[in-house]
Amino acid sequence: MQQRPSETQIVVSDLPPSVTEADLYQLASQYGQVAYIRVLRHIDTKTSLGVAFINFIDTAAVEKARNEMNGLAFKGRIIRAMKFNKERDPEANIFVKNIHESVTYKDLESHFKSFGNILSSKISFDENGNSKKYGFVQFEKKEAAQAAIANANGSALKGSELQVAKFIPIGSRMISSNNNLYVRGFGADMTAERFHSVFSSFGEITSHVILSNRARDGTDRHFGFVCFANPENATKALETLNGKSEDGFTWYIAVHMNKKKRLAMLRQENAKKQEDWKRRNVYVRGLPLNIDEEKLRKLFAEFGEIESVRIPKVENIRYENAEMIKEFTVKGVAYILFAQPQGATRAVQGMRDKSVEEKRLYVNLWRPREEIAKAINISKMKKMQSFMFDYGMMPGPMMMPGRGRQAAKAMPGRGWAGQQPMGRGKPQAFPPQAFPAQGFPPQQGFPVQVPIPPQQVAQPLVPLNFDIKTYEVAPPEFKKRMLGEALYPVVLKSSNTKIAGKITGMLLEMDNQELFLLLTNPEGLKLKVGEAVDVLRRAWENDPESLKLIEG
């Protein structure tokens, strides 16, 4: 029975930014035959996200690699290896603290494995590699996590008494765990004595301070901090005063967090808001410049209840009698937030392609800037395809919009698992018997140099590492792979490392016989590479960042 990819895959995280697929191949191939490796990278900057997927040929290698690589010191980082599981249960995750600094990942798993199957474990370390004395264990089932909390809390591990609890995301943690509060909402007339008097009524205060700074809009911003001796008193003050209006202002009180925790919470809250806005917020473009928010609200009121209307303004500078005058002007765009998603949908359908004061409107649901940038990149890729068709060349799979599953088939220069191209495509297992003269995969991760006997000199002129006998008996898909491996170093000599993979992929769209003949004709291949470079240069003429790739 064929194995599913998830059964032969592990996810490796906490990787240093400099790690490449080749580094991971050298590490992972110690535990079994590797079929596929992909390091996740930022879509724009191409920098590593510190996470990689590794597929093996069989499940035994997966289990061994997961156990051995989890908690391994690799290139200055303690890495984490876990079994791939799309449907991970958040209720099955536990938080463990008061861990002795000598405890390893394996020690932690050995201590908790009796409660159930463990998908992953982690101990947090600082930038110097010192244990922060807390960690996490993700079980496969929540019943195992519940059993661990009930029975392992207070248990000893290397002389330390562990504290075990259910893991709670940062945005949902109990505020009672903190006695330090952040306070704002008041004005310049708030004194330290009054501030102390208000909060000391809830319990003993150990410290308090009032601060101010200049906000972006030029106004003064006043805020303060108050620390209680008892967390329960801090909770009581927060619940009583937060949102309460008095003396012309409204108290805003929240648990004080360090910058890292606060940013994490804000990112989580912003992600939730964006998902909500994508369903309820409508973007309008092409508005007359004289329309205001009240008129716009009336124009869209028939489609449903409106929460807010915003017409952005930009600062414009004009000169009158040699004097500089700053004024704010509208851009002809607006955002309309409906109370219900149905209202936004009706507005898009009802106002699409309508005109207001002879100006045709563009109306659509709002999308985050990142999604718009992704759509623009896809549009650029489509334009590149049309250029390539115009010049008689078929785009390689890695140049298709979305960089989907087929991208792996034509990317010899992007990453290798042994000799297999390393794109985002579906991993394939290449049995060793398919390449008897070479074997698979070579442990060093590069094509094996096979010497050509003297009697074969009369054969067509091909690279020394190309085994013609193996090629003749290989199935078509293996022939294409062999041709790609042989072409890439030749293409690299006539281009550079940044575009050699793309050009090789473009050439691999040709027929196998044509590719073989091209491989025996170095001058003809050099001309083909030059043609491909010209195609890329024309396709990228309006994209300076991509043009830099051609120059290397």
Q: For residue 405, what is the domain's CATH number?
A: 1.10.1900.10
Tens place of pLDDT per residue across the chain (552 aa): 444 556 788 899 989 888 888 888 889 989 988 888 888 888 777 788 889 999 888 888 888 888 889 888 888 888 989 887 777 788 899 999 889 988 988 899 889 989 998 888 889 888 777 888 899 999 988 899 999 998 998 899 988 888 898 887 765 554 445 788 999 999 888 998 999 999 999 999 988 888 888 776 677 889 999 999 888 899 899 989 998 888 888 999 988 887 777 788 788 888 888 889 999 999 998 888 888 889 999 999 999 999 999 998 888 888 888 888 888 888 889 999 999 999 999 999 998 778 888 888 889 999 888 888 888 888 777 777 666 665 555 444 444 444 443 333 433 333 333 333 333 343 444 444 433 433 334 333 333 333 434 443 334 455 545 667 777 777 776 788 788 888 888 888 888 888 888 888 888 878 888 888 887 788 888 888 888 888 888 888 877 778 888 876
From 165, 95, 77, 85, select the one nearest 117 (Cα to Cα).
85
At 245, list the tokens: 């209006």
pLDDT at 477: 67
In the 8-state DSSP scheme, what is residue 452?
Answer: P
In a domain, 272, yes or no: no
Cβ–Cβ contacts within 10 Å for residue 354, how many?
11
Q: Do 250 and 309 reside in the same domain of the chain?
A: no
Q: Cis bond leading into 460, ω under 30°? A: no
Shared domain for 240 and 289, answered yes or no, is no
What pLDDT shows up at residue 479?
A: 80
Give a yes or no: residue 444 inside a domain.
Answer: no
Residue 217 lies in a domain: yes
Residues 399, 541, single domain; the answer is yes
For residue 404, give the DSSP letter.
-
Which residue, of 123, 149, 172, is where some domain finishes? 172
Residue 270 inside a domain? The answer is no
| Total tally of structural domains belonging to the chain | 4
Quote the CA–CA distance of 93 and 88 in Å, as a whole number. Answer: 9
Residue 32 in any domain: the answer is yes
- Do 392 and 510 fall within a single domain? yes
Q: Which two tokens stand for residue 353?
A: 């392609």
| Residue 168 and residue 52 share a domain | yes
Amino acid letter at 213? N
Contact 4, 83 (CB under 8 A): no
Residues 196 and 328 in one domain: no
Q: Are both 346 and 400 inside the same structural domain?
A: no
413 shares a domain with 325: no
Q: What are phi and psi of 17, to 5 degrees?
A: -60, -25
pLDDT at 451: 42
Q: Are residues 409 and 530 in the same domain?
A: yes
Q: How far apart are CA 485 and CA 489, in angstroms?
A: 8
The pLDDT value given to residue 59 = 83
Residue 347 sits in the same domain as residue 387 = no
Range of the domain at 212: 179-256
Backbone angles phi, psi at 152, to 5 degrees: -95, -15
Asked if the structure places residue 268 within a domain, the reply is no
State whether 384 and 533 are in the same domain: yes
In this prediction, residue 199 carries a pLDDT of 93
Q: Domain check: are 237 and 193 in the same one? A: yes
**Burial of residue 258 (number of CB atoms within 10 Å: 0-12, 13-18, 19+):** exposed
Q: Alpha-carbon distance 48 to 16, whole Å?
A: 8
pLDDT of residue 435: 39
Query: Residue 267 domain-assigned?
Result: no
Domain CATH code at residue 252: 3.30.70.330
Q: What angle do CA 528, 531, 537 make, to 5 degrees?
A: 145
Last-in-domain residue among 172, 195, 229: 172
In a domain, 447, yes or no: no
Nearest partner of 108 among 143, 128, 78, judged by Cα: 78
Q: Which of 256, 271, 305 finishes a domain? A: 256
